[in-house]
Chains A and B, each alone.
Chain A
């Protein structure tokens, strides 16, 4: 199970992401970020994949750092990434292949992914969830 919801914020945009596992949570957050970006895609044949890996201080920081890396690749490659296959995912380390499509442009300019207010917790349904604030 995974889900995301875009929430209101005065200056920026917040996302609530939820998943039955940590892996699902990361997928939900990735899909949420892609939705916020709202890429304009004219040719769906132009797929792109990238390998990424990173270490962070804890699993919340790992999620934020993961999204930051995807965002950087998105801007460099002019692409939107909405799919991830994990080779390794621990509380502090990640290796993955991200894939997506080349984009003509984006409707929203996400400047950065922030740590502000983010904390992965288990909710009453037993799912992992957090909110993430994006700097717009």
Chain B
């Protein structure tokens, strides 16, 4: 694709018209600034946004957020709303890490009050929160317990004493999708997840301690309980091997079933079946179970983080949850349809994208060592992006290139010199997640802010990072 193929709608919105390719059912819209386009044109991400525009039942636009990058099936940062009655559901539009997401915990202390204890806190987090590839947690669930987690999500963990009702109230969907059905999750998926509750895994998942660095909106910051130099903690992880296996199982099943429904798509990774079909409904119920596992996982990790805080800093701090948002998920929501304008139920696919309903806290983590943002969803998000915003910085450099160009040990030294305590299981893994490998989070947050989808509230600066 060339830049000439894009039509500039305004400074932060670009359109690929339906005429770009004969099989597009709707145009595509990308929320991005002109300076960010160049790099994007070097890879296949925009073609993937076009591919999504071919999904049966897609409404209005195939959308991409400013952190868009090359994925598989959907681009990362891709959003599609599909008519729930006549359209499809595509597991590739949610991704393998179902309900990968982020939550933010607030403290009442300022950075200066615990500055000297930050390295000890980083070590305590590394000790209490299991991380790393294939590493299990502190418990192995029985079949009955796992089924309860799949159907009740964070609720089950709180009922077991690892959290509060306040935590549940501040999770997207209350930390539970009621459509979940554990019987739709395969034995293999359950075997992969059985010992993984309470673990962050590896890759770009982390627990990070931040200080509130800048306040853009005093009033909203106050309402959110955020103040200058406040210490907060970010948790980023998902449904681990269990979610990955649910996606794998259902993409395979849908590939077999698609000819029965007369569906052909330009990329097998987009495999889709009608939402109302047995395959579509079974996937939706299994995906909801995977999403519940992820919320349960972040809830259990929250308990581990609270334990680490108690060990390193002391008792008496509640570490209150500001909000928990999902990045990779499908939800049924209501929006006006493209053809009739009447409000209809739609299956909103968000892959590497965050729900941003008006008034909702939105958390956009940066890459390791860079700023993160807390924003607030705006009314415009419902009109422009099916209530959705960006989910993070978005990769720009391949993992192999990052490992080639950046030495993990040097990066650790550099981050420590900047006042960031780093605890990581893998030095190579550290290099893969170097800030240079990602787009500038400030650019991503600016685009979101200027389109009016979500407004900046505060900026966070990391002081400790723990990853696998």
Which residues of A are at the interface with B, using a C-beta cutoff of 8 A? 6-13, 37, 56-57, 61, 65, 68, 72, 74-76, 78, 103, 105-109, 111-118, 133, 135-136
Q: Across the interface, which residues of B come within 8 angstroms of A12, CB to CB?
A: 71-72, 399
Q: A-facing mask of B48-81, CB < 8 A → 1, else 0?
A: 0000000000000000000001111100100000
Residue of B nearest to A103 (CB): B134
The verdict on A106 contacting B133 (CB below 8 Å), with A10-B43, A56-B252 known, is: yes
**How distant is the Cα of A74 from the Cα of B241 in the complex, in angstroms?**
11
Contact indicator A108/B248 (Cβ below 8 Å)? no
Contact indicator A9/B133 (Cβ below 8 Å)? no
Q: Across the interface, which residues of A come within 8 angstroms of B95, CB to CB?
A: 135
Contact indicator B192/A75 (Cβ below 8 Å)? yes
Contact indicator A72/B248 (Cβ below 8 Å)? yes
Contact indicator B96/A112 (Cβ below 8 Å)? yes
Q: Across the interface, which residues of B come within 8 angstroms of A112, CB to CB?
A: 96, 244, 247-248
Contact indicator B400/A78 (Cβ below 8 Å)? no
Contact indicator B429/A107 (Cβ below 8 Å)? yes
6 tightest A-B CB contacts, nearest first:
A116-B72, A115-B268, A106-B133, A8-B398, A109-B202, A116-B269
Q: Across the interface, which residues of A come within 8 angstroms of B135, CB to CB?
A: 105
Say yes or no for B411: interface residue by CB 8 A criterion: no
Q: Across the interface, which residues of B come within 8 angstroms of A135, CB to CB?
A: 72, 95-97, 244
Q: Smallest CB–CB gap between A74 and chain B, Å?
A: 8
The answer, among B72, B188, B428, for a CB contact under 8 Å with A107, is: B428
Q: Across the interface, which residues of B come within 8 angstroms of A136, CB to CB?
A: 203, 399
**How distant is the Cα of A113 from the Cα of B428 in the complex, in angstroms?**
21
Give the residues from 133 to 170 in chain B that come closer than 8 angstroms, CB to CB, to chain A.
Answer: 133-135
Contact indicator A116/B399 (Cβ below 8 Å)? no
The answer, among B133, B245, B267, B268, for a CB contact under 8 Å with A109, is: B133
Q: Across the interface, which residues of A come within 8 angstroms of B73, CB to CB?
A: 114, 116
Say yes or no for B420: interface residue by CB 8 A criterion: no
Say yes or no for B132: interface residue by CB 8 A criterion: yes
Q: Across the interface, which residues of B come within 8 angstroms of A56, CB to CB?
A: 252
Q: Across the interface, which residues of B come within 8 angstroms of A115, CB to CB?
A: 72, 251, 255, 267-269, 271
Say yes or no for B426: interface residue by CB 8 A criterion: yes
Give the residues from 393 to 411 in chain B that come closer than 8 angstroms, CB to CB, to chain A.
Answer: 395-401
**How distant is the Cα of A108 from the Cα of B204 in the complex, in angstroms?**
11
Give the residues from 231 to 248 in chain B that come closer than 8 angstroms, CB to CB, to chain A.
Answer: 241, 244-245, 247-248
Say yes or no for B201: interface residue by CB 8 A criterion: yes
Q: Across the interface, which residues of B come within 8 angstroms of A76, CB to CB?
A: 188, 191-192
Contact indicator B426/A133 (Cβ below 8 Å)? no
Q: Across the interface, which residues of B come within 8 angstroms of A74, CB to CB?
A: 134
Among B134, B245, B255, B269, chain A packs the most CB atoms within 10 A around the CB of B134
Among A10, A72, A76, chain B packs the most CB atoms within 10 A around the CB of A10
**How distant is the Cα of A133 from the Cα of B188 in the complex, in angstroms?**
22
Q: A-facing mask of B107-142, CB < 8 A → 1, else 0?
A: 000000000000000000000000011110000000
Which residues of B are at the interface with A, using a C-beta cutoff of 8 A? 43, 69-73, 76, 95-97, 132-135, 188, 191-192, 201-203, 241, 244-245, 247-248, 251-252, 255-256, 267-269, 271, 395-401, 425-426, 428-429, 468
Apart from A8-B399, A9-B398, A12-B71, 17 more pairs, CB < 8 Å? A11-B69, A12-B72, A57-B255, A61-B252, A68-B252, A72-B241, A75-B134, A75-B192, A105-B133, A107-B133, A108-B429, A111-B203, A112-B248, A116-B269, A117-B267, A135-B95, A135-B244
Q: Smallest CB–CB gap between A7 and chain B, Å?
A: 8
Contact indicator B245/A72 (Cβ below 8 Å)? yes
Contact indicator A11/B247 (Cβ below 8 Å)? no
Residue of B nearest to A74 (CB): B134
Residue of A nearest to B352 (CB): A11
The verdict on A10 contacting B396 (CB below 8 Å), with A76-B188, A107-B133 known, is: yes
Q: Across the interface, which residues of A come within 8 angstroms of B468, CB to CB?
A: 109
The answer, among B244, B251, B398, for a CB contact under 8 Å with A111, is: B244
Q: Across the interface, which residues of A come within 8 angstroms of B203, CB to CB?
A: 109, 111, 136
The verdict on A116 contacting B395 (CB below 8 Å), with A10-B70, A76-B191, A107-B133 known, is: no
Residue of B nearest to A116 (CB): B72
Q: Across the interface, which residues of A come within 8 angstroms of B247, CB to CB?
A: 112
Contact indicator B399/A72 (Cβ below 8 Å)? no
**How distant is the Cα of A108 from the Cα of B432 in the complex, in angstroms?**
10
Q: Across the interface, which residues of B come within 8 angstroms of A9, CB to CB?
A: 70, 398-400
Residue of B nearest to A9 (CB): B398
Q: Across the interface, which residues of B come within 8 angstroms of A37, CB to CB?
A: 133
**How distant is the Cα of A68 from the Cα of B186 in the complex, in angstroms?**
14
**How distant is the Cα of A118 from the Cα of B251 in the complex, in angstroms?**
15
Residue of A nearest to B402 (CB): A8
A-B contact pairs, 10 of them (CB 8 A): A6-B400, A8-B400, A10-B397, A11-B70, A11-B395, A65-B252, A107-B426, A107-B429, A108-B202, A115-B251
Q: Smallest CB–CB gap between B351 and chain A, Å?
A: 11
Contact indicator A72/B192 (Cβ below 8 Å)? yes
**How distant is the Cα of A133 from the Cα of B73 in the complex, in angstroms?**
11
**How distant is the Cα of A118 from the Cα of B271 in the complex, in angstroms?**
14
Q: Across the interface, which residues of B come within 8 angstroms of A65, CB to CB?
A: 252
The answer, among B43, B96, B134, for a CB contact under 8 Å with A105, is: B134
**How distant is the Cα of A14 from the Cα of B383 in the complex, in angstroms?**
37
Contact indicator B256/A57 (Cβ below 8 Å)? yes
Among A105, A115, A117, chain B packs the most CB atoms within 10 A around the CB of A115
Residue of A nearest to B76 (CB): A11
